[in-house]
């Protein structure tokens, strides 16, 4: 018996990093898990096999979150194969860091299109059935920089602040239909996204974190799993920081 038995979850950008950890955490609680990624390959195959090894159905879908038609196709495919979507996690995200003075229009657009528009696209594609069924959980992966900002990340922090605004507005729109919409704002997590930082940059960051360490992806997934469960039925429109105390 798991806390997500008989639920169907869809995780975007799930092939690796935090998305992968969320997909595995859901599967460990009995959910059937579909995940998308812009490219499917060995990592996606491995994840699908690991999900199935937990005794639940898995589905890997190639989909670009920036493209609404592609998101609608992904949602339609999951609803056809697994009948419904109970839990949507908007996780796909990218960084294209630069100081504003040097940031290109392409760097701005790529991050806003993937992180913010991608979240809009999947919320819009997946909500129809949730609204009809009068139940659903939407969890958007934001970031602490959407709350506190970060030099060199005007595009990324604007996209994440946008996700927080979207989350709160959608929680108000969908509340009467019993659909909870929340955001999780991770601090600094060990994934490929943060591998690009130098050792000095990592040290400077961890010095600022009260817990004096970075997070593991499973520590973010644990909070997402809770928000996806019926234990969190009375929580909506919230931003839960999982950041070792960085933003307190
Ligand atoms: P990763 O880069 O490890 O994984 C992101 C995944 O999203 C990749 O599999 C990537 O595919 C996929 N992806 C990228 N663009 C698209 C797209 N257009 N359509 C579909 N999938 C796409 O990142 P993390 O796991 O670290 O990050 C996951 C989320 O957590 C992001 O939203 C990120 O902003 C957020 N976050 C991460 C933090 C961290 O410290 N790591 C901190 C705060 C928030 P591919 O690699 O093939 O491009």
CATH code of the domain covering residue 127:
3.40.50.720
Please write the tens of the pLDDT for every residue from 13-64.
999 999 999 999 999 999 999 999 999 999 999 999 999 999 999 999 999 9
* Residues sharing a CB contact under 8 Å with residue 49, sequence separation 6 or more, in sequence order: 58
Q: Does 122 map to a domain?
A: yes
Q: What's the pLDDT score for residue 76?
A: 98
Ranges of residues in the chain with a pLDDT under 70 are: none
- Rounded Cα gap, residues 216 and 207, in angstroms: 17
Q: Does 1 map to a domain?
A: no
Cβ of 73 less than 6 Å from ligand 1: no
Q: Are 65 and 92 in contact (CB under 8 A)?
A: yes
- Phi first, then psi: give them for residue 11, nearest 5 degrees: -120, 125
How far is C-alpha 214 from the geometric centre of its chain's CA atoms?
A: 18
Q: What's the pLDDT score for residue 192?
A: 85
Cβ of 194 less than 6 Å from ligand 1: yes
Cβ of 140 less than 6 Å from ligand 1: no
**Structure token digits, residue 199:** 């050792």
Q: Does 248 map to a domain?
A: no
Q: Does 135 map to a domain?
A: yes
Q: Does 82 map to a domain?
A: yes
Active site residue 156: yes
Q: Does 3 map to a domain?
A: no
Q: What's the pLDDT score for residue 196?
A: 81
Q: Does 182 map to a domain?
A: yes
Q: Does 112 map to a domain?
A: yes
- Rounded Cα gap, residues 10 and 228, in angstroms: 11
Number of domains observed in the structure of the chain: 1
Share of the chain above pLDDT 70, in %: 100
Full domain range(s) for residue 56:
8-242
């Amino acid at each position: 018996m798991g806390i997500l038995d008989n639920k169907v979850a869809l995780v975007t950008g799930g092939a690796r990093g935090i998305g992968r950890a969320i997909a595995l955490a859901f599967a460990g609680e009995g959910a059937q898990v579909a995940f998308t990624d812009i490219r499917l390959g060995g990592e996606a195959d491995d994840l699908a096999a690991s999900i199935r090894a937990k005794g639940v159905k898995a589905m890997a879908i190639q989909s670009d979150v920036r493209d609404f038609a592609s998101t609608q196709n992904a949602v339609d495919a999951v609803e056809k194969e697994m009948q419904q979507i109970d839990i949507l996690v908007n996780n796909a995200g990218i960084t294209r860091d630069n100081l504003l003075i040097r940031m290109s229009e392409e760097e701005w657009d790529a991050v806003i299109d993937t992180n913010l528009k991608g979240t809009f696209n999947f919320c819009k594609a997946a909500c129809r059935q949730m609204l009809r069924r009068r139940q659903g959980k939407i969890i958007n992966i934001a970031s602490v920089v959407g709350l506190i900002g970060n030099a060199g990340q005007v595009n990324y922090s604007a996209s994440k602040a946008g996700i927080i605004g979207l989350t709160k507005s959608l929680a108000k729109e969908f509340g009467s239909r019993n659909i909870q919409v929340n955001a999780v704002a991770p601090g600094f997590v060990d994934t490929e996204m943060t591998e690009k930082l130098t050792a000095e940059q990592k040290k400077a960051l961890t010095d600022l974190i009260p817990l004096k360490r970075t997070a593991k992806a499973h520590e973010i997934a644990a909070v997402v799993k809770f928000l996806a469960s019926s234990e969190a039925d009375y929580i909506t429109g919230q931003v839960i920081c999982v950041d070792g105390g960085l933003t307190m």
